[in-house]
Structure 1
Amino acid sequence: MLKSTTLSLIALTAATPAFAQTGDDIVVTASGIEQPRDEAGQAITIIDADTIETRQSVDVVDLLATTPGVRFSRTGSMGSVASISLRGAETTQTLVLIDGVKVNDPSGIGDGYDFGHLLTGNIDRIEVLRGSNSVVHGSQAIGGVVSLTTATPAKGFAPKGSAEYGYSDSFTGKADVSGTAGRISGGIGGAYFRTDGISSAAVGAEKDGYKNFAGNARLKVAFSDALSLDLRGYYINADLDYDSFFGAPADSADVAKLDQYVGYAGLNLGLFDGRFTSRAAVTWLRNDRDYYFMRGTAPDYGYSGTNLRFEYQGVVTPVEQARLIFGYEHERPDYDFFGFGSTDSQRANIDSVYALGIVQPFAGLSVTGGFRHDDHSQFGGATTFGANANYSPNDGATNVRASYGEGFKAPSLYQLYDAFSGNAALRPERSKSYDVGIDQSLADGRALVSLTAFLRNTNDQINYDNTAFTYGNIDRTRAKGVEATLALRPIDALNVTASYSYIDARDRSGRAVFDGKRLPRRAEHAVSLSADYDWSFGLSTGATLTMVGDSFDDAANAVPLDGYALAGIRASVPVGPNLEIYGRVDNLFDADYATAFNYGTYGRAAYGGVRARF
């Protein structure tokens, strides 16, 4: 449906220069430590604080949807289940971190993360790494990694806040304060969102409302130049009206409630003038989900997932041109279920060791390689390898990248132990991922074009076997494609970015009904184009166009989902030195579309708000 339009837009933007990011950008997801972006040979997109504020997005998924290689689906109103697929991988094969803590839910069917409750109120930066990278991150990192961080404390004392109101009686309010005093720095913030929503069922008439509160806190104490304590916390409380998913979606009185707790406590030690650094940390995740057939009653069923992790990481820098990263991790995912007259409780222990070397044999070349071994108390061991390289012959103006990464995903506790469909003999899912790319800066740093080609093969993928009525390692999949990113800043006042991705993700299981079919909810083509202009009198205006091609809702490719195009406009203007008024219109042309069959989506919607900084 959108193929000809998409290709026309690509032909237009491919000839357009792009605004270059600086070579000083720092990334963490590639190796698990801070390093210059030009040093990493993997495909990474950064969504920084300025972009988050400029786009005015309330939902993290809306920002991720403009990133190349990302496909998403949502089952209805704001707060409903939202899933992210990276480069055509399963949505359960995306590893998600919040402030360095792994937040994939151990009580989920596939340990997936529900992005539906993750709003932008407390988020300051997002890194998206595309491609398998289990050497650094362990299980789940088959499609890639989404890492979100809250703001680091400001110098001095810096309070700020905002409030917004709009379509369907939606209100967003957030505030935070941070500061630094001597060797102590810290911050605390909170964000509240409520809406009457829309009907989650496409055929429904009853709106499904949603409430969300998110809080975050940080504290860092530097006992000396070499030793520091780092504490971080994140919390989400959510309350969602949703339409029953047992059968075709239809209006119902169902309610879902979530409490998510995320904690991090770490000690950092630097010795020998920083040539040897150590980090020891304890992280904790707890995800409590309760479901009610009717509000005001006791929960009818629910899940609780907990993951307690110990992490040690050491970094040795014997010479400026070489670093060795090594570590040990222990985690204990727990799973508890109640409902329908039964209860279940399961847990596992996972011990992991890894080592990664980064060397720069000569100016312009950086090579990274390493391995990881994970020992799971149920299925045994899994060893993964990875390597990547980045070469620049001209001080960062051109970067040629290549990477190979292996990924694995441990079976979830539900898939292993569920009384009705569990299979204790499951093997981990395994993947091999390859990509090659180039980043070219032009026009004295005012332009950047980035192209990447990728291929990933996944074996032993876990799926439900409808003949044996249990989970089994029955699937093989292959995904290949191309990603392109362009940015342009012809003058200081104008910033234009564009991205395109082609993803061919198909079933290779050999099963007659599914073999060769496209994987569900993964459109082949997607384009995003965004432009922002700062006027001389203070007004800022912008627009974003997102186009997504046709896809299918099911593995047999019998239920089509038509492609769609969404346009949004935005504006903001300062009122004095500390105040800013802003507003936006989403889905400007009131497009009728769906990301999941029979589930509703938002039409045209307008919002306005005010921001204050001191």
Structure 2
Amino acid sequence: MSLVSLAGAAALAAISPKAPVDVPVEAVVVVANRIPVAASESGRSVTVIPEAVIRDRQALVISDLLASTPGVGVSRNGGPGGVTAVRIRGAEAEQTLFVIDGVRLNDPSVVGGAYDAANLLVGDISRIEILRGVQSAVWGGQAIGGVVSLETRLPPKGALTGDAAAEAGGLGTTYLRGGVGGAGEALAWRLAADSYATDGVSAARSGTERDGYRRTGASGRLTADLAPEVRLDLRAVWSDARNAFDGYPAPAYVFADTRERGRTREALGYAGLTFPVAGGRVKNRLGLALTDTQRRTYDPDQAVTDQTFRAEGQVRRLEYQGEASLTPAWRLTFGAESERSRMRIASPSSFDPEPEALTRSTGVDSAWIQALGTPAADLTLTLAARLDRHDAFGDHGSGQVALAWHPGGGDTLLRASLGQGFRAPSLYQLYSEYGNAALQPETAVAGDLGVEQKAGDVRLSLTLFGRRTEDQVNFAVCSGGGDPNCAGGRYGYYANLDRTMAFGLEAAASGRLAGFDIDASYTWTQARLEGQAGAPDQDLARRPRDMAALDVSRTLARDLRLGMSLNYVGESLSDLWGGPPLKSYLTAGLRAEMPLGPMLSVYGRIEDVTDEAPETVRGYGAPGRVATLGLRGRF
């Protein structure tokens, strides 16, 4: 069961009089097996953040919600809109796969070919699942660290529903959101849009001018039942974000205030068809997904042209997934995927204002299979295998085994998993001005062992995990010594590290205790570089050994809902090149919500109450204390 679902259901019931008041007996997870499975049947480590908790926490940015879950670390280059890295269990950010409504979010033109979570707002998201550990056997190469799955809203059948929110707060911040949808017997649809704006803070911690951020987004979903068990599914997500940032101005060339700015446009589209064959014994889904990301950066102080960088990344993905019940005790899922990625980048300058764009593309074809069954009473076994055929790196196989065991069918749940991973270097890492065509793919082996115990209305969990990664890709700074990769005066290049290791412990507790809804977690992680020629063994950058989170909330008279959150992040290394460490920090938040009637409520929050403004990336600023007041309603 989700560690936060009990508290979330209570919060929704308290705030919204029309909300259901029953607390779910058990959560259902989808991301772990790519089909709906009861949490107690999944041997993989998953956390679910349901809609009730998303609403109760009042968060606007997805990464803020992720940072409160076990094993997840977040760093951001400055205020809202700055590059945002999400690391699961000490893995690299590009080893975290983001999925929205089943569609992978990746941009082949960024450094690691993954997804920058900077522009990912809560918006119309109704559910988040975080799958931890190596998950390549089911989800492919980008999932060495884990998977973050996001689901947008769909209305209940037979209803026309809508919701809206408006808020304003410190730093000149405003946020507007609205959505409407309806569902009949055969057709369901939902349209939503949001707009966020803030004056922000200086990206450079030493700076004085503010670096603002503006983002507009929209999403839509449509499902149509064409025949019994035949469904057409259409989805689209779009966003346009603009941010100001700082750089390294002449003549000192140190990080400081500049007038640089950027713009990122992201578009996602999906069309799918589900249908049965073999008399309904085999369920099938065919899907086509397209993602397109366009990025531009500008410096008005650059001569000749103000554009400094442009990039386009496109991914086209065709996929098939099938599901069959072999026996009453065993289910089989299987699939095939074909992905084509394209990168186009250029760096205009005063010396070359119209450079020829570098264009590269690659592809990977995959097939996978998974068996889920109960070979014995109270025991669920999952076996998965995958074969990837990459255009540049050939065939790579990966597998996974997972167990979930309820001894005697009681309140104790034991979990265990062991899996392999493979990730090819990105197009940028291979072919950009810092590229290295001799890079080798990353490979990983990881496992975990966990126990969950229900005690009254509280659920406790403890998980041990470990991962070994070979040939992890990292940026190497040129420092002389005749390195052939540094020919031509290059600043640096991408290189394979010999070996990285990560192991640790995750502890969590959630539920209702003495009238309070609680959600607490503690993670201890040691992520290290080991065995690298010419370099001592050391911690990896921005991987704090200690992380903890606590959220406590309660409903008082007249349905007034109060909440408090605490987040602690321990000291960590700022980079692999000997820079000073990033200091530990503790941030606190307060929030409240009061219904004004059956469909309307007023809410407010204070983030970072003590004005800690933590430095999560060396030299970059953070917003600090911000107060917000808002109004939201639904019908």
- Please say if 1:480 is aligned against 2:522: no
Question: Residue 88 of structure 1 aligns to a residue in which SS?
Answer: coil
Give the 3 Å change call, closer, same or farther, for CA 192–544 of structure 1 in structure 2: same
Tell me the alpha carbon deviations over residues 510-561 of structure 1, each in whole angstroms, 9 at most, x when there is no partner. Answer: 2343x32110011000110100101131100000001111111111443211
In the alignment, what sits opposite 1:357? 371
- Please say if 1:490 is aligned against 2:513: yes
In the alignment, what sits opposite 1:8? none
Matches within 5 A, 1:155-170: 155=157, 156-170=159-173
Taking the aligned partners of 2:625 and 2:8, their CA distance within structure 1 comes to: 30
Matches within 5 A, 1:245-264: 248-264=254-270
Deviation at 1:423, TM superposition (A): 2.8
Taking the aligned partners of 1:582 and 1:592, their CA distance within structure 2 comes to: 23
- Comparing 169-178 with 29-38, greater Cα deviation is found at 29-38
Q: Which runs of 5+ in 2 are unaligned?
A: 1-5, 10-22, 349-354, 487-492
- Letter of the aligned partner of 1:116 in structure 2? A
Tell me the alpha carbon deviations over residues 485-521 of structure 1, each in whole angstroms, 9 at most, x when there is no partner. Answer: 1013135x520110000000000142343x3211001
- Letter of the aligned partner of 2:300 in structure 1? M
Taking the aligned partners of 2:452 and 2:277, their CA distance within structure 1 comes to: 36
CA contact 1:379–1:426 (8 Å) conserved in 2? no
Deviation at 1:178, TM superposition (A): 1.0
Taking the aligned partners of 1:564 and 1:129, their CA distance within structure 2 comes to: 26
- Letter of the aligned partner of 2:230 in structure 1? L
Taking the aligned partners of 2:307 and 2:316, their CA distance within structure 1 comes to: 26
Question: Residue 121 of structure 2 aligns to a residue in which SS?
Answer: coil
Give the 3 Å change call, closer, same or farther, for CA 222–177 of structure 1 in structure 2: same
In the alignment, what sits opposite 2:73? 71
Taking the aligned partners of 1:185 and 1:475, their CA distance within structure 2 comes to: 51
TM-score (norm. length: structure 2): 0.90
Taking the aligned partners of 2:510 and 2:34, their CA distance within structure 1 comes to: 27
Give the 3 Å change call, closer, same or farther, for CA 191–395 of structure 1 in structure 2: farther
Deviation at 1:36, TM superposition (A): 1.1
Q: Which runs of 5+ in 1 are unaligned?
A: 1-16
In the alignment, what sits opposite 1:34? 36
Taking the aligned partners of 2:306 and 2:224, their CA distance within structure 1 comes to: 43
Question: Residue 606 of structure 2 aligns to a residue in which SS?
Answer: strand
CA contact 2:8–2:50 (8 Å) conserved in 1? no
Question: Residue 125 of structure 1 aligns to a residue in which SS?
Answer: strand
CA contact 2:89–2:132 (8 Å) conserved in 1? yes
Tell me the alpha carbon deviations over residues 445-465 of structure 1, each in whole angstroms, 9 at most, x when there is no partner. Answer: x01001000010000112234
Question: Residue 123 of structure 2 aligns to a residue in which SS?
Answer: coil
Matches within 5 A, 1:179-578: 179-244=182-247, 248-271=254-277, 274-294=280-300, 299-340=307-348, 341-395=355-409, 397-418=411-432, 420-443=433-456, 446-465=457-476, 466=478, 467=483, 468-469=485-486, 470-491=493-514, 493-513=515-535, 515-578=536-599
Which of 627, 630, 633 is equivalent to 1:606?
627
CA contact 1:19–1:496 (8 Å) conserved in 2? no
Taking the aligned partners of 1:409 and 1:142, their CA distance within structure 2 comes to: 7
Deviation at 1:244, TM superposition (A): 1.6
CA contact 1:249–1:599 (8 Å) conserved in 2? no
Give the 3 Å change call, closer, same or farther, for CA 23–508 of structure 1 in structure 2: farther
Deviation at 1:48, TM superposition (A): 1.1
In the alignment, what sits opposite 2:12? none
Taking the aligned partners of 2:576 and 2:244, their CA distance within structure 1 comes to: 28
Taking the aligned partners of 2:542 and 2:254, their CA distance within structure 1 comes to: 17
Question: Residue 415 of structure 1 aligns to a residue in which SS?
Answer: helix
Question: Residue 140 of structure 1 aligns to a residue in which SS?
Answer: helix
- Please say if 1:589 is aligned against 2:597: no
CA contact 2:8–2:51 (8 Å) conserved in 1? no
- Letter of the aligned partner of 2:370 in structure 1? L
CA contact 1:157–1:180 (8 Å) conserved in 2? yes
Deviation at 1:405, TM superposition (A): 1.2
CA contact 1:23–1:396 (8 Å) conserved in 2? no
Deviation at 1:333, TM superposition (A): 0.5
Taking the aligned partners of 1:232 and 1:396, their CA distance within structure 2 comes to: 41
CA contact 1:69–1:86 (8 Å) conserved in 2? yes
Deviation at 1:363, TM superposition (A): 2.7
- Comparing 601-610 with 149-158, greater Cα deviation is found at 149-158
Deviation at 1:295, TM superposition (A): 9.3
CA contact 2:563–2:591 (8 Å) conserved in 1? yes
- Letter of the aligned partner of 1:154 in structure 2? P
- Comparing 319-328 with 129-138, greater Cα deviation is found at 319-328
In the alignment, what sits opposite 1:95? 97
Percent identical: 36
Taking the aligned partners of 1:558 and 1:295, their CA distance within structure 2 comes to: 30
Taking the aligned partners of 1:306 and 1:562, their CA distance within structure 2 comes to: 38
Taking the aligned partners of 1:83 and 1:548, their CA distance within structure 2 comes to: 15
Tell me the alpha carbon deviations over residues 117-169 of structure 1, each in whole angstroms, 9 at most, x when there is no partner. Answer: 11111211111111001011111111111111111233310011000000111
- Letter of the aligned partner of 1:594 in structure 2? E
Taking the aligned partners of 1:183 and 1:250, their CA distance within structure 2 comes to: 57
- Letter of the aligned partner of 2:600 in structure 1? L
Taking the aligned partners of 1:534 and 1:267, their CA distance within structure 2 comes to: 43
Taking the aligned partners of 1:38 and 1:295, their CA distance within structure 2 comes to: 58
Taking the aligned partners of 1:592 and 1:533, their CA distance within structure 2 comes to: 27
Question: Residue 538 of structure 2 aligns to a residue in which SS?
Answer: coil
Question: Residue 407 of structure 2 aligns to a residue in which SS?
Answer: coil
- Letter of the aligned partner of 1:173 in structure 2? L
Taking the aligned partners of 1:396 and 1:116, their CA distance within structure 2 comes to: 42
Taking the aligned partners of 2:260 and 2:543, their CA distance within structure 1 comes to: 28
CA contact 2:613–2:621 (8 Å) conserved in 1? no
In the alignment, what sits opposite 1:12? none
Deviation at 1:249, TM superposition (A): 2.5
Deviation at 1:205, TM superposition (A): 0.5
CA contact 1:402–1:435 (8 Å) conserved in 2? yes
Taking the aligned partners of 2:280 and 2:42, their CA distance within structure 1 comes to: 21
Taking the aligned partners of 2:460 and 2:306, their CA distance within structure 1 comes to: 55
Aligned residue pairs, count? 593
Taking the aligned partners of 1:245 and 1:41, their CA distance within structure 2 comes to: 48
Deviation at 1:271, TM superposition (A): 4.0
Deviation at 1:225, TM superposition (A): 2.0
Give the 3 Å change call, closer, same or farther, for CA 245–481 of structure 1 in structure 2: farther
Taking the aligned partners of 2:494 and 2:532, their CA distance within structure 1 comes to: 17
Which of 169, 174, 197 is equivalent to 1:171?
174
In the alignment, what sits opposite 1:138? 140
Taking the aligned partners of 2:299 and 2:109, their CA distance within structure 1 comes to: 20
Taking the aligned partners of 1:19 and 1:337, their CA distance within structure 2 comes to: 44
In the alignment, what sits opposite 2:17? none
Give the 3 Å change call, closer, same or farther, for CA 567–149 of structure 1 in structure 2: same
- Comparing 559-568 with 29-38, greater Cα deviation is found at 29-38
Taking the aligned partners of 1:96 and 1:432, their CA distance within structure 2 comes to: 21
Question: Residue 509 of structure 2 aligns to a residue in which SS?
Answer: strand
Deviation at 1:316, TM superposition (A): 1.1
Taking the aligned partners of 1:423 and 1:556, their CA distance within structure 2 comes to: 20
Q: Which has the higher contact order (CA 8 A, sep 6+)?
A: 1
CA contact 1:19–1:448 (8 Å) conserved in 2? no
Taking the aligned partners of 2:387 and 2:278, their CA distance within structure 1 comes to: 29
Tell me the alpha carbon deviations over residues 300-338 of structure 1, each in whole angstroms, 9 at most, x when there is no partner. Answer: 321111100000011110222101111110000100012
